Structure 1
Amino acid sequence: MRFCNIIYSSISAALLLAMPLTAEYSVPERGTKERSAMLDAVRAHAEEQLGAPIEFVVYDLRVDGRFGFASLQAQRPGGGAIDLYATPGFKEGTLEPDFMDGTSMQALLRRSGETWVAVHWAIGPTDLWFAYGPFCRRYGRVIEDYCQGVN
């Protein structure tokens, strides 16, 4: 009987370790000041590279304390497509449409007082650039699911 308890305890511990951790972040609702401030922080970079005006399709927006994460798709108002070859970023040589995933964007944000700042961001990445050690250690509360198994 003792052997069975040891086996049961070992299996239970392994299952608990394999389960994903519960996310502690919140999702700012549409129409809130926090959501608008976070999107505006990313919009500044998007408009610099893609040209104004920009609106976003929001795939994921997360907040935990002073840390935030955004996964977005930039577009023109009303859903218009952005011609990457006609953007300021392409003309300046900072965007390479042939090697990008369109106008998808991800950003790691920090709140300073009432202001959100997009500290790290990317347009059109083809990998999970933010899912590695330093970013996971600092922003792990909002990107925990991406960081599982990352040191």
Structure 2
Amino acid sequence: MSVFMLLAATVSAPAQAVHEPARGTAERAEILNALRPMLEARLGPPVEFVVDWMRSGNGWAFVQVSPQRPGGGAINLRQTTYAEQAEYMDGIATFALLRLQYDRWNLIDFAVGPTDVFWQGDPLYAQLPRGLTPY
């Protein structure tokens, strides 16, 4: 393939707009299911999510979730792998960056209970589509 053809194919491919995957869609379920194993390993299973923010676009997704036990049960950080860090954390809110690669969502970066907007100033996040992160 010539450089011109490759460039033309790249230019003509439409960019996927950043959007919020709707409840009940496969995309939303796949993103949350990619996040679940990491959180269950750290918080203990089972974990379900209240989605506070979810955006997807151009093969990237960014989520902010509030993990809980099924039925809305609270998770006590002092009974998780975060027990020794709990007093320094801002709750259990979890932020995660995912990338659609090889036909599945992959966890790229995350923070549980951050006390600041950890992604601001990070060169990786500067490459993301506008509107993917909340701030």
Q: Same fold (TM over 0.5)?
A: yes
Q: Deviations over 1:13-49 (max 9, x none)?
A: xxxxxxxxxxx41111111111011001111111111
Residue segments in structure 1 that go unaligned for 5+ positions in a row:
1-23, 147-151
The answer on whether the counterparts of 1:68 and 1:139 sit within 8 Å (CA) in structure 2 is no
Partner of 1:149: none
Instruction: State the shift of 1:102 in Å.
Output: 1.3
Structure with the higher fraction of residues in helix conformation = 1
Q: Which runs of 5+ in 2 are unaligned?
A: 1-16
| 1:115 corresponds to which of 89, 92, 104 | 104
Aligned 1:64-143 pairs, distance under 5 A: 64-90=57-83, 96-141=85-130, 142-143=132-133
Percent identical across equivalent pairs?
38
| CA displacement at 1:114 relative to structure 2 | 2.4
Which residue number in structure 2 is paired with residue 34 of structure 1? 27
Offset at residue 139 of structure 1 (A): 2.1
Given that 2:58 and 2:129 are in contact with CA atoms closer than 8 Å, whether structure 1 keeps it comes out as no
Which residue identity lines up with residue 41 of structure 1 in the other structure? A
Give per-residue Cα distances to partners, 1:52-71, cap 9 Å, x unaligned.
00001101110112111001
Equivalent position amino acid for 1:104 in 2? A
The residue type equivalent to 2:110 in the other structure is W
- Partner SS state of residue 118, structure 2: coil
- Retained in 1: the 8 A contact 2:31–2:98? yes
Structure showing greater radius of gyration is 1
The RMSD of aligned alpha carbons is 1.5
Aligned residues: 118
**Following TM superposition, by how much is the alpha carbon of 1:140 offset from its aligned partner in structure 2, in angstroms?**
4.0
Alpha-carbon offset, residue 123 of structure 1: 0.6
Contact 2:57 2:129 survives alignment (8 Å): no
